[in-house]
C-alpha cells in the first residue's frame, strides 16, 4: 500500500527488504541460524546487521540502484511498480551491488585493504564488519590529525591507477555515485525546480546555488581521466589498527573522474560532519587548517597557475556534493530514519545554505580560486561554530 500522496511507506519497503535478506541468507547458508540485528539508518540503501550461526555480518539491499529517499518519494513509481522492476533488476547483470562487490575485490587487487565480502545473492550483498574507529571518529577525537589522515586515505588508493586495475574498473564502474551525474540527475531542467521546492524554506537559496554551480562546474575532462574511489567519505575509511595503522575501505563507488573527485567528496562530508557536531572555535579552526594541509599535500607538485585551477575544480565539486546530499536530507520522507548527523544538519539548514551561497558567489564572481578556497575554509569555521 502507498500513502495517498503517492509516497511509498518506509515500513513496507523495510519489510520487503528484510524478506529478501532472509531469503538470500537461506540460499547462501542453508540450514544455518539467521538472526536479524539493528537496522542501520541510511538515505541510500537498506542496511541491516545480522548474524549467521553467530557470525556477524552486514546485509545491504539496493532498490533499482536508486537512493531510498528517491524510491520512497515515488520517483520510480508506486510500490507495485518498484517491486516488479526490482525483481528484474536484481537478477540483471551489472546491478549496483554486483559492481560494488567487484569494486571491493578490485581494491584488494590494487593493493588497498577492503571490507571482506561474505556473499552476494538475490540482489543482497553480505559483508563482514570492520571493527575499529572510522576516519570520522578519529577526526572528531583529534582534529589535529586531519591533514595527515585525510592525505593517507587518498595515498592508500594510488594503486587504483595501475593499468590492469583501471581496465577492471571500466568494466564495473559505479556511475550512479558520481558527483556530477548525481547533480545532473537531481537538478535537471525538467524536474529540478519541483525537487527543490520539496526542500522547504531552503529551496530558494539552493535554487540560486544550483544555478551558480551549473555555471562554474568543470567541463567534462578531455583525454585521460584517473580512476577515482567515487564515494570517499570519512565513514567509509576504517582504521582497525588505530590511527597509525593502514585503513580499510568500505562501500566503494569506483569509476573515472576528475583528479579532485575523491578529495572533494572527503572534504564535503568532513565539513558537514564538523557542522553537525557544533564544535568549539579552536576545534573548528584546527579542522579547517587540516583540510588546507590536505589540499596542499595533493597539490605540492603543481605550479601556481595549475594549483589555482585545481582548487577551482575542487571547490566546485565540493559544493556540488554538499548540495547533492544536503538536498537529499531535506527531502527525506518523515518515516525514513536519518543518520544522526543528517538530522542535525537539517536542523541547521540556514547555516549550511549560507556556506553554499557565500562560496558559490565567490566562484561565479571570478575571484582568484586560491582566495575563494581560503575564504571558504574561514566560512566553514564560522558556520560550524555558529
Q: How confident is the model at residue 218 (pLDDT cuts 50, 70, 90)?
A: confident
pLDDT band at 57 (very low <50, low <70, confident <90, very high): very high
User: How confident is residue 4, by pLDDT bands cut at 50, 70 and 90?
Assistant: very low
Per-residue pLDDT, averaged over 48-76, amounts to 95
Measure the CA–CA gap between 2 and 226, rounded to whole angstroms: 43
What average pLDDT does the segment 189-218 reach?
A: 91
pLDDT of res. 3: 40
Taking residues 226-252, report their average pLDDT: 97
* 79-95 tens-digit pLDDT: 999 999 999 998 888 99
- What does the chain come to in residues? 386
Task: Specify the pLDDT at position 2.
Answer: 38
Q: In sequence order, which residues have a C-beta less than 8 Å from that of residue 110 and are 6 or more positions away?
A: 157, 159, 160, 162, 165
C-alpha to C-alpha distance for 209 and 353, rounded to whole angstroms: 9
Q: For 265-283, write each residue's pLDDT tens digit.
A: 999 999 999 999 989 999 9
Is 6 within 8 Å of 76 (Cβ atoms)? no
Compute the average pLDDT of residues 271-298: 96
pLDDT band for position 176 (cuts 50, 70, 90): confident
Q: With beta carbons less than 8 A apart as the criterion, state whether 236 and 249 touch.
A: yes
In the predicted model, what is the mean pLDDT of residues 60-69?
94
Q: Does residue 220 have a pLDDT over 90?
A: no
Q: Does 118 score more than 50 pLDDT?
A: yes
Give me the percent of the chain exceeding a pLDDT of 70: 98
The pLDDT assigned to 86 comes to: 95
| pLDDT for 342 | 92
Q: What digits encode the pLDDT tens for the residues 324-368? A: 999 999 999 999 999 999 999 999 999 999 999 999 999 999 999
Q: Is 46 exposed, middle or buried (0-12, 13-18, 19+ CB in 10 A)?
A: buried
The more confident residue out of 198 and 189 is 198
pLDDT value for 190: 74
Q: Answer with the residue of higher pLDDT: 8 or 5.
A: 8
Q: How far apart are CA 79 and CA 107, in angstroms?
A: 35
Give the pLDDT band of residue 100 (cuts 50, 70, 90): very high
Q: What is the mean pLDDT of the chain?
A: 94
Residue whose C-alpha cell is 563507488? 253
pLDDT of 223:
74
Give the confidence band of 5 by pLDDT, cuts at 50, 70, 90: very low
Residue 229 has pLDDT above 70, yes or no: yes
Average pLDDT over residues 184-210: 90
pTM for this model (two decimals):
0.95
Instruction: Tell me the average pLDDT across 232-239.
Output: 97
Which among 68, 96, 90, 64 is positioned nearest to 8, based on CA atoms?
68
Alpha carbons 386 and 381: distance in angstroms, whole number: 8
Amino acid at each position: 500500500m502507498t500513502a495517498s500522496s503517492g509516497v511509498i511507506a518506509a515500513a513496507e519497503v523495510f519489510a520487503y527488504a528484510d524478506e529478501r535478506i532472509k531469503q538470500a541468507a537461506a540460499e547462501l547458508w542453508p540450514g544455518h541460524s539467521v538472526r536479524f540485528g539493528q537496522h542501520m539508518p541510511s538515505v541510500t540503501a537498506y542496511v541491516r546487521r545480522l548474524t549467521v550461526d553467530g557470525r556477524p555480518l552486514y546485509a545491504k539491499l539496493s532498490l533499482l540502484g536508486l537512493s531510498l529517499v528517491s524510491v520512497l518519494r515515488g520517483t520510480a513509481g508506486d510500490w507495485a511498480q518498484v517491486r516488479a522492476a526490482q525483481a528484474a533488476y536484481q537478477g540483471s547483470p551489472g546491478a549496483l551491488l554486483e559492481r560494488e562487490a567487484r569494486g571491493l575485490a578490485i581494491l584488494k587487487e590494487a593493493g588497498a585493504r577492503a571490507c571482506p565480502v561474505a556473499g552476494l545473492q538475490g540482489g543482497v550483498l553480505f559483508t563482514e564488519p570492520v571493527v575499529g574507529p572510522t576516519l570520522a571518529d578519529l577526526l572528531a577525537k583529534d582534529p589535529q590529525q586531519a591533514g595527515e589522515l585525510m592525505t593517507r586515505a587518498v595515498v592508500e588508493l594510488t594503486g587504483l591507477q595501475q593499468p590492469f586495475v583501471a581496465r577492471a574498473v571500466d568494466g564495473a564502474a559505479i556511475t550512479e555515485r558520481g558527483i556530477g551525474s548525481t547533480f545532473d540527475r537531481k537538478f535537471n531542467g525538467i524536474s529540478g525546480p519541483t525537487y527543490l521546492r520539496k526542500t522547504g524554506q531552503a529551496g530558494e537559496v539552493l535554487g540560486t546555488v544550483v544555478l551558480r554551480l551549473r555555471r562554474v562546474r568543470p567541463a567534462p575532462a578531455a583525454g585521460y581521466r584517473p580512476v577515482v574511489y567515487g564515494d570517499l567519505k570519512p565513514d567509509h575509511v576504517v582504521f582497525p589498527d588505530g590511527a597509525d595503522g593502514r585503513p580499510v575501505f568500505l562501500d566503494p563507488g569506483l569509476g573515472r573522474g576528475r583528479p579532485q573527485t575523491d578529495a572533494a567528496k572527503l572534504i564535503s562530508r568532513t565539513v558537514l560532519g564538523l557542522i553537525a557536531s557544533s564544535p568549539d572555535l579552536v576545534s573548528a579552526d584546527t579542522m579547517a587548517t587540516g583540510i588546507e594541509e590536505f589540499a596542499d599535500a595533493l597539490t605540492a607538485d603543481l605550479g601556481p597557475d595549475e594549483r589555482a585551477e585545481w582548487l577551482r575544480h575542487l571547490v566546485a565539486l565540493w559544493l556540488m556534493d554538499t548540495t547533492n546530499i544536503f538536498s537529499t536530507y531535506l527531502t527525506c520522507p518523515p518515516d525514513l530514519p536519518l543518520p544522526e548527523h543528517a538530522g542535525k544538519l537539517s536542523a541547521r539548514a540556514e547555516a549550511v545554505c549560507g556556506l553554499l551561497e557565500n562560496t558559490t558567489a565567490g566562484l561565479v564572481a571570478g575571484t582568484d580560486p586560491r582566495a575563494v578556497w581560503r575564504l571558504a575554509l574561514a566560512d566553514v569555521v564560522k558556520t560550524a561554530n555558529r
